[in-house]
């Protein structure tokens, strides 16, 4: 059974998709040869400062939808700029979902693949790019190529993840889907010791069960060194009452208050979006009085992100700090991956040195199936037989006078010391040699020469570190 959207198709895909691709190509050709090529996006989930664009962006307005859902084959063809909010809305009616659904609704599929993404299925399904079967990519050379794991563009397929649009932009991706049940039953396990937390994370990630009950979803929250939790989710079709955290209640606070819970599958997938994990507290949205009058449609990550953008433009927070006689604030918005055996030590160091809490935890293992055996990925190398833990922290700390990004630099050094990596969606401070050693080095340069020979797109180091 295949559901095509809309019915008029070209080569099995909606005719409108080809119109969108043609529009993209036309906008690429209109960019001056000496100008850097960028996407014209209304919003972004990146948190890097960058120079102002000097040329019009590529027109991606026709590349935003779900093109087809193959229910029996459990696959979907999706335009590169389709948000996960729209993708999930198209697949859930068939009892299907993407293998990994990143936490925020406006993350796009193409963005999650080229920039990495993670969620509570990552301990069993890996990262979003690992369930991609094929993708059409507009390369820096201005060509549309189809890349799979074993065709003539297999090198691009292996190197696309973590390239952040510096090799090209995905216009269409075919991804695997998995069956899901209508509800998710949650168990919140409390830990008083970080070593016990890490041990349990390693055990559950490997066994995929706890006390004889299957675990389909796994993530956690660290509030302090003596108060942390793992949340275990199990799919179920058993009917019954469910919680709603899109109203007055706040999901992450429920973890401290309840041992068990139940959500619909849709509410579970978006449980973090309503309050942008816990970051909505910076805007007063968790204050019960304020929340009562805060429009429900604006309780979502995309609106909070817009507020952050306004603050970055007008420096409102820094001005308020200055009025109180306090220093400006350094933004520390990062996700890092640390091997599970090093996680407790890293968390202890972080809680001692960085005044940020809570911290999000999400275990990760590279996907390994009989059809697609585990493999490493060129620009974000990780061991195929190792469990990692993503640690997410998103806040600000007082600026250290005379040192740009002092706290971020300190964290980078510790992550490397603990044999980890960090995602590149936010500020980075590595030297060129450090960056090359961590993110593909010569392999990236080879891909750049083949797929962007005239350097129409930014270089990855320039984009991630120099903030171009």
Domain residue spans of the chain = 2-179
Segment 160-182, tens digit of pLDDT: 999 999 999 999 999 999 999 99
Segment 403-435, tens digit of pLDDT: 999 999 999 999 999 999 999 999 999 999 999
Give which of 234, 272, 226 is closest to 253, Cα–Cα: 272
Strand partners, 329: 398
Question: CA geometry: angle at 435 spanning 430 and 439, to 5°?
Answer: 140
Segment 42-67, tens digit of pLDDT: 656 565 555 555 556 899 999 999 99
Segment 179-226, tens digit of pLDDT: 999 999 999 999 999 999 999 999 999 999 999 999 999 999 999 999
Segment 234-287, tens digit of pLDDT: 999 999 999 999 999 999 999 999 999 999 999 999 999 999 999 999 999 999
- Does pTM surpass 0.85? yes
Give the pLDDT mean for 136-160: 97
Task: Please tell me the class of the 2-179 domain.
Answer: alpha beta
Backbone φ and ψ for 144, nearest 5 degrees, come out as: -95, 120
d(CA 21, CA 144): 9
């Amino acid at each position: 059974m295949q559901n095509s959207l809309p019915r008029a198709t070209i080569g099995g895909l909606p005719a409108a998709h080809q119109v969108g691709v043609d529009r993209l190509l036309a906008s690429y050709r209109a960019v001056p040869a000496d100008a850097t090529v960028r996407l014209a996006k209304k919003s972004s989930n990146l948190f890097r400062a960058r120079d102002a664009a000097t040329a019009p962006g590529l027109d991606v307005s026709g590349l935003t939808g779900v093109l087809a859902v193959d229910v029996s084959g459990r696959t979907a063809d999706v335009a590169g700029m389709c948000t996960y909010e729209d993708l999930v809305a198209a697949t859930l009616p068939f009892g299907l979902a993407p293998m990994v659904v990143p936490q925020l609704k406006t993350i796009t599929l193409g963005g999650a693949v080229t920039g990495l993404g993670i969620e509570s299925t990552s301990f069993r399904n890996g990262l979003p790019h690992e369930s991609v079967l094929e993708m059409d990519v507009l390369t820096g050379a201005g060509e549309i190529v189809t890349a799979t794991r074993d065709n003539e563009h297999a090198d691009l397929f292996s190197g696309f993840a973590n390239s952040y649009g510096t090799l090209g932009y995905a216009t269409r991706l075919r991804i695997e889907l998995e069956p899901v049940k209508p509800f998710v039953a949650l168990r919140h396990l409390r830990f008083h010791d970080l070593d016990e937390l890490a041990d349990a994370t390693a055990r559950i990630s490997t066994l995929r069960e706890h006390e004889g009950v299957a675990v389909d979803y796994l993530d956690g929250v660290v509030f302090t060194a003596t108060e942390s939790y793992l949340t275990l989710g199990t799919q179920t079709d058993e009917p019954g009452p469910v919680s709603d955290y899109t109203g007055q209640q706040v999901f992450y606070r429920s973890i401290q208050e309840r041992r068990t819970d139940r959500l619909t599958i849709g509410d579970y997938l978006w449980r973090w979006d309503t309050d942008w994990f816990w970051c909505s507290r910076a805007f007063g949205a968790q204050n019960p009085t304020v929340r009562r009058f805060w429009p429900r449609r604006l309780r979502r990550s995309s609106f909070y992100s817009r507020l952050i953008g306004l603050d970055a433009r007008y420096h409102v927070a820094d001005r308020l700090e200055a009025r109180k006689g306090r220093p400006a604030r350094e933004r520390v918005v990062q996700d890092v991956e640390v091997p599970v055996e090093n996680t407790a030590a890293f968390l202890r160091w972080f809680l001692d040195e960085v005044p940020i809490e809570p911290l999000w935890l999400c275990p990760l293992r590279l996907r390994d199936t009989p059809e697609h055996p585990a493999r490493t990925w060129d620009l974000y190398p990780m061991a195929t037989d190792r469990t990692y833990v993503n640690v997410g922290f998103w806040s600000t700390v007082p600026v250290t006078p005379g040192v740009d990004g002092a706290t971020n630099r300190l964290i980078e050094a510790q992550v490397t010391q603990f044999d980890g990596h960090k995602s590149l969606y936010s500020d980075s401070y590595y030297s060129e040699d450090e960056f090359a050693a961590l993110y593909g080095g010569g392999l990236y340069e080879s891909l750049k020469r083949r797929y962007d020979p005239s350097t129409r797109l930014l270089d990855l180091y320039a984009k991630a570190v120099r903030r171009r």
